[in-house]
Chains A and B, each alone.
Chain A
Amino acid sequence: KAGVTQTPRYLIKTRGQQVTLSCSPISGHRSVSWYQQTPGQGLQFLFEYFSETQRNKGNFPGRFSGRQFSNSRSEMNVSTLELGDSALYLCASSLGSATQSGNTIYFGEGSWLTVV
C-alpha cells in the first residue's frame, strides 16, 4: 500500500515567486493536512481538507492557500514568496478527520522549499 506521496521533494524559488506543492494521500484517505516545519518555529499546522472542504486553518497569512480534489489529492500554494517561507512542508493523510479519536495520521516525506 503506497504511503503519502509529496512532489516535488526539493525546489528552489526566488523571492516574489509563487510555488505549488502536491500531495497524494494514502488510497481511501479523505483527510489531508499540511504542516510547515522550520528550525525556529518547529511544526506548525497550515490547514486541513476533508472531502474537498477546508475544515481547519492555522495562523498563516492569506498567501498560503490550498485545495483538495475529488480524488482526495491536495495542493498547497504559496504566493509572493518570502525568505522566511523556506521550510519543509509536510502533508499528512487520514481516513476521517485528522482529529477524530482513533484515526491514525500518516505523514509524507515532505517538500523542501528554499527561497533565495
Chain B
Amino acid sequence: GDSVTQMEGPVTLSEEAFLTINCTYTATGYPSLFWYVQYPGEGLQLLLKATKADDKGSNKGFEATYRKETTSFHLEKGSVQVSDSAVYFCALAHQAGTALIFGKGTTLSVSS
C-alpha cells in the first residue's frame, strides 16, 4: 500500500542554519504531496503542496520539489528561526478518493 517515510527526528539546529527534512513515498500513479506543520498544542497547518512531478511548493521560506524519479519531496529552508520549531509532517493523497497518508513526523528544534 501507499506509504510515506520521513527522516527520524529530532532535528536540532541553531538559528540561521540550513534545514533539510527528507521525505520519500511509495504510491501508485501520481499522488499530490504535502508538508504540514504542527506547533505545540495546535492542529495541523498546511505549509506547502505540489500536485505533479517537478512542481515546487513554497511558503514562508520553505520549499519542496516533487521528484517523481526519486519518489521524494524533501523540505528545505535556507535559514531557520526559533519560531520554526515544530513537528513537520509529509503526506500524500490520491485524486481517486483516498485520504491523506502521513509520515511519522519530524520534530525540529531551533535554538538561538
Contact = CB atoms under 8 A, between A and B. Distances in A.
Contact of A42 (B43, B45, B96, B104): B104
Nearest to A46: B99
A11 interface: no
Interface of A: 4, 6, 33, 35, 42-45, 48, 55-56, 58, 90, 92, 97-102, 104-110
A58 B98 CA distance: 9
> How big is chain B's contact interface, by range?
20 to 34
B89 interface: yes
Contacts of A48: 99
Contacts, number: 60
Interface of B: 32, 36, 41-46, 49, 51, 89, 91, 93-105
A101 B51 contact: yes
B97 A105 contact: no
A108 to B, nearest CB: 5
Contacts of B103: 42
A110 B99 contact: no
B99 A43 contact: no
A90 B105 contact: no
A101 B32 contact: yes
Contacts of A58: 99
B58 to A, nearest CB: 15
